[in-house]
Amino acid sequence: MFQIGSISFPDRPVFLAPMEDVSDPPFRLICKRLGADMLYTEFISSGGLAYGAEGSEMKLDIYDEERPVAIQIFGGDVEQVREATRVVNTARPDIVDINFGCPVKKVVCKDGGAGILRNIPKMQEITAAVVEASDYPVTVKTRLGWDDASIRILDVARMLEETGVQALAVHARTRSQMYKGDARWAWLRRIREEAGLSIPLIGNGDATSPERIEAMFDETGVDAVMVGRGAIGNPWIFRDTKIFRETGEVPPRPTWEERIRVVAEHLALKCEWLGERKGVLEMRRMYGGYFKGFRGASRLRSLIMEREQVDDVLELLLNFGEDDANVAVPSGTAIRATAVMARLPRPTRARKDSPLPVP
């Protein structure tokens, strides 16, 4: 057991990582139902929040049903980050997280994300600004360093705790690695043993299966594991990890029918959050993960790309594979009921363009 602020977590909790275009409300709610112990929003531009950009404010949508939930922000301008934190307070998250780890060029070129790893004093200044402005516990997600020649994670970890951060998540790669090569879990063990931290340490990187998640706990001593790419198209990873921990066996992968049920729910929630047309289009990037390994998956994805209305996509999903003896076709009534019943709860903060009042 450990705590972040006043929030208590069970032993060996597994968190959903913040992922652009993935960790939105529809996917987070599904992951929560399937056992994720904490959720993070997509990363949100501090500049966008400071200037009231609609797309940035929309990402502040969080729901009581998904708690505990962290809102993650990024940016290299100290005053913008400070102002963004004040905006985040209005959404009433459980945690405010700072992204010091995104390796994407358009983010790092302005000292956002992992770009700040080239300027540790400024990293401390940004962290202090968020801690000062936040009404909630502040955490950080970062990487080992900019490159192999500049790994200073032990010093950085100590500095972040001294500045007021209440938990630290580390992706065990450098920025120069991007997502290539193996995550260097040995560094997570070194942080745990050598940095002298009293705050929780969250491990991230290559935790892509129940076996790998448990191995990260065993090999590194982290307090929690954050799952990113391993959850894309596979929200069952949180449930399966807990079953594996209890039984020593990984459950069989979800049946075709179970996958279709979750896809229908995900699609319906996407369309409610974004509107039908945008929801259908945005959902397209998720099908590859959901149907990976199933016979005919490539053909199914191609057919889905031709549909632009939610009913047409559902009709295709319900009837696809009918002549394939290896694919069980689920009950159309049950799947449609899943889609119809999928509704977003009331957000904790009303957007300017939303008719819903703040509860």
DSSP character string of 151-200? B-HHHHHHHHHHHT-S-EEEESS-TTTTT-S---HHHHHHHHHHS---S-
Query: Exposed (0-12), middle (13-18) or buried (19+): which is 267, by Cβ within 10 Å?
Result: buried
Phi, psi for residue 49 in degrees, rounded to 5: -70, -40
Helices (H), the chain: 25-33, 46-50, 54-58, 78-89, 105-108, 120-133, 153-163, 185-194, 210-220, 237-247, 256-274, 276-283, 287-291, 297-304, 310-319, 332-341
- Identify the active-site residue in 31, 102, 109, 271: 102
**Residues whose CB falls within 8 Å of the CB of residue 49, separated by 6 or more in sequence, listed in order:** 56, 57, 60, 73, 83, 84, 87, 88
Q: How far, in Å, CA of 303 to CA of 307, rounded?
A: 7
Q: How far, in Å, CA of 330 to CA of 327, rounded?
A: 9
Q: How far, in Å, CA of 90 to CA of 47, rounded?
A: 16
* Length of the chain counted residue by residue: 359
Phi, psi for residue 258 in degrees, rounded to 5: -65, -40
DSSP state of 5: T
102: annotated active-site residue: yes
- SS3 readout for 112-137: CHHHHHHCHHHHHHHHHHHHHHCCCC
Q: Which residues are catalytic?
A: 102
